[in-house]
Amino acid sequence: MSFGAALKEHLATYKRNTLGVDEDGTWQGRSYSHILPESHQHLNLLESIRGDCLNYLEEAGIKLHGGRVGVSPRPANLFPSSPPTKGDRIA
């Protein structure tokens, strides 16, 4: 099995067993087991800061970007090192 295939399998297992999400996400009209459905994209945020982060983003008028929402084993890597500003899009 290739590294890419093993990683996708691991992420799909993590999504189902750790995050408790059974629904597959879509990208370019196709379903993928390792992608979060858009309704669960907030799970890519670290649990310890998820609530505060979502509140900040809402108050600042910043929306999580839609589309492909892959499960990240290191969710914090999705954020830039500088704080977002109004109108920025966060993955």
pLDDT of residue 46: 85
Dihedral (Cα; 20, 22, 24, 25), 10-degree rounding? -30
The pTM of this model reads 0.64
pLDDT of residue 32: 92
Place of tokens 């505060």: 52
Residues of the chain with pLDDT under 50: 68, 74-77, 80-81
pLDDT of residue 38: 86
pLDDT of residue 22: 95
